[in-house]
Amino acid sequence: MSLFSAVEMAPRDPILGLNEQFAADTNPNKVNLGVGVYFDDGGKLPLLQCVQAAEKTMMDKPSARGYLPIDGIAAYDAAVKSLVFGNESEPVKSGRVATVQAIGGTGGLKIGADFLKRLNPDATVLISDPSWENHRALFTNAGFKVDTYAYYDAEKRGVNFDGMLASLNAAAPGTIAVLHACCHNPTGYDISAAQWDQVVAVVKTRGLTPFLDMAYQGFGHGIAEDGAVIAKFVAAGLTFFVSTSFSKSFSLYGERVGALSVLCQNAEEASRVLSQLKIVIRTNYSNPPIHGGAVVAAVLNNPELRALWEKELGEMRVRIKAMRQKLVDGLKAAGVKQDMGFITSQIGMFSYSGLTKDQMVRLRSEFGVYGTDTGRMCVAALNSKNIDYVCQAIAKVV
Ligand code: PLP
């Protein structure tokens, strides 16, 4: 009898499980559209030039590795604030944003969740139906009851916006609403600017706590365009949470670079909130690692490198859009009768293809094309070499 005798085997992470299956697949034509990672047209994970340039400067002047402050690199936190709220924005100028460096976007969400649990332990967390798989698990593990708000309308192929508003309208005051700031994962469907205005209004009248998850800023329509939703919440006079991830936008997945920003009523409140966020961090992992944050800060705070980053991010965005169009055209050419044009009205890395679980299983087992059972495919992993094969495979299963 050991302490661990009764430990149950946890279910495999659905996405990482797919990756393992993919790695073991001997099909020479196999294509991994399961995981949310951007690959370039050569099928490679890009190492951005702006990142290489920043790293070269750092290598030329190697520095010792002391502990960072609990809230991370000051220049990094400042850069995140400007990126999320705008350099000249009132929240930044008045000092009422508390920002901490975090271990990826996931870390930002978790710090926020742990802090919220202290503030409002009985609150329910509402996530979109469906949402990024980890939202439910993360907020449940932080001790919250997690429910969903209506989001995807499979028949209409889009957002069930009336349903979304109705769900938010029915939520009790204090409910935490997790909102995808842009590039909704997994569906690829975002709400319009006018619909955001309505969401902001409901959040305000119902007294909900907005938690904006911004994991794809710059992957949708542009850095400013994707970030525009933040200004709407600011203009409404709301206080709220924003988690940021640079995993995709800097192609720095393994460096775990992210942040949490909390917009408070004034600078004094922000300093109290910051002090509590620091306790959450201190008691979890003490302080963040240096490298990824230093790279991102060096890029964002240097005009030339920043311009290079914007160019490279723009290229990723444009390539994804081109792949969406090629997918639509390729499916048509491969004989798919139904109109797949909806794929180009989706945005970001993912496409909810509308394929059934059975069709997704057949794609995997017969063709080595890996997407999730929900029909989600990562269009950012398509390229000029694999697109025809993927289109032919889909045409054979639909
Ligand atoms: N939020 C959403 C919606 C995501 O899709 C992801 C990553 O896929 C994250 C957060 C987490 O990002 P990170 O890898 O930086 O932790």
- Whether 258 is in the pocket of ligand 1, judged by its Cβ within 6 Å, is yes
pLDDT confidence of residue 251: 98
Phi, psi angles (nearest 5°) of residue 180: -80, 115
Three-state DSSP class for 29? coil
pTM over 0.95, yes/no: yes
- Whether 72 is in the pocket of ligand 1, judged by its Cβ within 6 Å, is no
What is the DSSP track for 103-156? EHHHHHHHHHHHHHHHH-TTPEEEEEES--HHHHHHHHHTT-EEEEEE-EETTT
Closest-lying ligand 1 atom to the alpha carbon of residue 103:
16
pLDDT in tens, the chain (398 residues): 899 999 999 988 878 889 999 999 999 999 999 989 999 999 999 999 999 999 999 999 999 999 999 999 999 999 999 999 999 999 999 999 999 999 999 999 999 999 999 999 999 999 999 999 999 999 999 999 999 999 999 999 999 999 999 999 999 999 999 999 999 999 999 999 999 999 999 999 999 999 999 999 999 999 999 999 999 999 999 999 999 999 999 999 999 999 999 999 999 999 999 999 999 999 999 999 999 999 999 999 999 999 999 999 999 999 999 999 999 999 999 999 999 999 999 999 999 999 999 999 999 999 999 999 999 999 999 999 999 999 999 999 99
Rg (C-alpha) for the chain, rounded Å, is 21
Q: Residue for token digits 């909130």? A: 273
Amino acid residing at 134: N
Q: How far is the CA of 62 from the centre of ligand 1 (A)?
A: 31
132 is catalytic: yes
The residue nearest atom 1 of ligand 1, judged by CA position, is 215
CA proximity to 81, closest of 248, 235, 270: 270
Q: Cβ atoms within 10 A of the Cβ of 300, count?
A: 22
- Whether 138 is in the pocket of ligand 1, judged by its Cβ within 6 Å, is no
Query: What distance lies between CA 171 and its chain's CA centroid?
Result: 24
Amino acid residing at 158: G
Q: Residue for token digits 């910051």? A: 274
Contact 375, 352 (CB under 8 A): yes
- Whether 132 is in the pocket of ligand 1, judged by its Cβ within 6 Å, is yes
**Exposed/middle/buried for residue 66 (C-beta within 10 Å: 0-12, 13-18, 19+):** exposed
196 is catalytic: no
- Whether 91 is in the pocket of ligand 1, judged by its Cβ within 6 Å, is no
ipTM of the complex: 0.99
Closest-lying ligand 1 atom to the alpha carbon of residue 257:
15
Q: What's 177's DSSP letter?
A: E
What is the DSSP track for 257-308? EEEEEEE-SSHHHHHHHHHHHHHHHHTTTSS--SHHHHHHHHHHTSHHHHHH
pLDDT confidence of residue 340: 93
